[in-house]
Structure 1
Amino acid sequence: MSDRTAAGIAEQMLDLLPPDGAPVLNRMLRAMLSRRLAQSVSTEDFFLARDLLLKRGRVGRERGQGGKIFLLKTPPAEPAATAPAPASPTAPLEAELMAPVAQYLSTIFVRNLDLPKGGLALMQDISAIGPSSGQWARPDFMLVSLMRFTFMPGSQLDVHAFELKTETGGSVLAVHEALAQTRFTHFGHLIWHLPEESRARARLPDVQKQCEEHGIGLILAVRPQDLESYEILLDPKRKATPPKTVDGFLESRLNPHNRAALKKALKEDA
């Protein structure tokens, strides 16, 4: 399909961006492109097209949680077509979800953070690490990002915690579990395996409302093995967790390799 080339996707991207220059989240624009083309646009194809427009000076970008881009010129917009809904898979156990979710977090999720050149992202399964006592003290995954700036001195360290739930495990209680884990981190996320045809979708409005009220990110793993099927419904809000608490959490959870990598990166900023 010719529109799937970087240049073709880039042209469609220009058509979909608001002509007034309002910024659009990368993932939202990718979803709009998929609807326009009536088939999924991969993360790699999206960023190839975006980078092409950046080089041509057609768009600008805002870094940070999710990343955004905006028009530097104002072409006409066209309506988008709706793609058909995918089929629902069978529900696996949580242990079976860990590997594909880890792959999603370490690839597509990290890419969507849109860290600047020289940034660092460390993802780790910490489900079996940490105190065995204490309520909701063990997130399933942790992601540490280090963002360096072009002109501002120093860097910004962000720590994300992710709580994974199966199709039957997603609930308001799960939101509060993810919230409790932000006492150690800056961001909390709930990842919920929720197929399109699942009866558990009846709980989605309540879960989403609670996530929004408490500043918890909500990610749906629609078809866990298909990394392009993950849907970020809500971005988390950054918590003002004391640096000493975050430092202690990292010290107790990071494996030797990630600890050494983070220390090296921080030393380079000193």
Structure 2
Amino acid sequence: MTDLQLNEDEYQLFCEVPDDGCAAGNGSLRSRIGWSRPRYGRARQGLLDKHLVIRGVGRGGTLRRAFAPSQSDPSSKTVSIPAPVTESSLYKPLLQTLGAEWSDYRGLSALAHEDTAFGGGRLTGGRWSRPDLVVVGFRRFELVPARFEVVTFEVKTVDNINVLAVYEALSHSRSATHSYTLFHVPDVLADTKRDEIGAVIAAASEHGIGVITFDDAADFETWDERQPAERLQSDPLRMNTFLQEQLSAEGQLNVASAIKSSNLDHG
């Protein structure tokens, strides 16, 4: 976690200041965000104290982003303050990491890793029964036979960290061996979001749901498994139906071929 920490208002204001070096008026910034003068003043002062913005001249005063530490002092560490992202924009880099480093670390030979959030006309089986992402494969061990795994994931952005995500994951966990919530938590907001993440972990631990936080979806070194997911005893028929309804034709073929050629196929 970076030493630089912002509260939510400081983060929101910083993201409103142009990232191209241009200045923006305090009046227009406050109007866009819709804050009172005292609230805006506290956030502005917080950014000034952290040397992230610089005051400028102009009617009502202006703000512009300060140079990154590495530009003024090559020996200092560059601090990344990412712009807000949409949940759907996280799916692709998350899938790439899940299918590569995450699977390797878990000892999972992934057969399919797919975005199932936008299933079009596919059957869902009810509210929240469709996860955002799914990874299917064989988990291998040194002294224990390989086990088939269906791992589902519920993805949330930093502004949607709450226990509701746990219950969404719990809903589709009935068709999985493991279910996780994946929360995007930029490093600069780690302290601000500590209590919210703590509440989620407490709820998840009661239901066997895993909790993972990450700063960069594409960088596994920023991922932190805060709560391991317990192995669930889902009905095989229900799992099979789930995969038929949610996986692509190619994904289903990869899974079926692997099972047919493995010692898990006794038919």
**Residue 163 in structure 1 maps to residue 154 in structure 2:** yes
- 1:225 CA drift (Å): 4.1
Q: For residues 101 and 140 of structure 2, what CA distance do their matches in structure 1 show? A: 20
Q: Which residue of 1 aligns with 2:182?
A: 191
Distance in 1 of aligned mates of 2:160 and 2:101: 24
Using the TM superposition, give the Cα deviation of residue 149 of structure 1 relative to its aligned residue in structure 2, in angstroms. 6.8
Q: Which amino acid aligns with 1:123?
A: H
Matches within 5 A, 1:11-50: none
Q: Using CA pairs under 8 Å that are at least 6 residues apart, name the structure with larger relative contact order, 1 or 2.
A: 2
Report if the CA contact (8 A) 1:86-1:196 is conserved.
no
CA RMSD, Structure 1 to Structure 2 (Å)? 2.5
Partner of 1:111: 104
Partners of 2:156 and 2:184 within 8 A in 1: yes
Report how far residue 148 of structure 1 moved: 5.9
- After TM superposition, give the deviation of residue 238 of structure 1 in Å: 0.9
State the distance in 1 between where 2:143 and 2:212 align: 33
Cα displacement (A) at 1:261 = 1.3
Distance 1:85 1:134, change over 3 A: farther
Give the equivalent residue in structure 2 for 1:122: 112
- Is the 8 Å Cα contact of residues 166 and 204 (structure 2) preserved in structure 1? yes
1:219–1:235 Cα change, 3 Å = same
Superposition map of 1:40-119 within 5 A:
87-115=80-108, 119=109
Deviation at 1:232, TM superposition (A): 1.3
Assess, with a 3 A threshold, how the Cα gap between structure 1 residues 251 and 133 changes in structure 2: closer, same or farther: closer
1:248 corresponds to which of 241, 245, 250? 241
Displacement of 1:89: 2.3
Partner Cα distance (1:124, 1:252) in 2: 13
Cα distance in 2 between the residues matched to 1:220 and 1:205: 11
Aligned pair 1:227/2:220, yes or no? yes
In structure 2, relative to structure 1, the CA distance for the partners of 1:266 and 1:89 (3 Å cut) is: same
**Contact 1:125 1:142 (8 Å CA) reproduced:** yes
Q: 1:148 to 1:192 in 2, by over 3 A?
A: closer
Mapped pair 1:182 → 2:156: no
Q: Equivalent residue of 1:206, what SS?
A: helix
1:221 and 1:123 mapped to 2: Cα distance? 18
- Separation in 2, partners of 1:255, 1:122: 9
CA distance in 1, matches of 2:126, 2:227: 27
Counterpart residue type for residue 158 of structure 1: E
Deviations 1:181-238 (A, max 9, x none): 1011111100000112323333111011111121111111212343321111121001
Q: Tell me the distance in 2 between the aligned counterparts of 1:98 and 1:143.
A: 13
CA drift of 1:87 comes to: 4.4
Amino acid at match of 2:162: S
Q: Secondary structure at the match of 1:174?
A: helix
User: What is the match of residue 61 of structure 1?
Assistant: none
The amino acid that maps onto 2:133 is F
SS in 1 for 2:159: coil
Higher Rg: 2
Structure 1 residue aligned with 2:127: 135
1:231 counterpart SS class: strand
Q: Does the 8 Å CA contact 2:111/2:254 hold for their aligned counterparts? A: no
The one-letter code matched in structure 2 to 1:131 is: L
Distance 2:242 2:232 in 1: 15
Offset of 1:141 from its aligned partner?
Answer: 0.5
Q: Does 1:239 align with 2:232?
A: yes
Q: Tell me, yes or no, if the aligned pair for 1:194 and 1:201 is still in contact at 8 Å.
A: no
> 1:151: Cα distance to partner?
7.9
Length-normalised TM-score, structure 1? 0.62
Contact 1:192–1:220 under 8 Å retained in 2: yes
From the superposition, tell whether residues 85 and 108 of structure 1 become closer, same or farther in structure 2 (CA, over 3 Å): farther
1:85/1:184 CA distance change after superposition, 3 Å: farther
Secondary structure of 1:197 counterpart? helix
In structure 1, distance between residues paired with 2:141 and 2:228: 22
Cα distance, 1:86 vs structure 2: 6.2
Aligned match of 2:136: 144
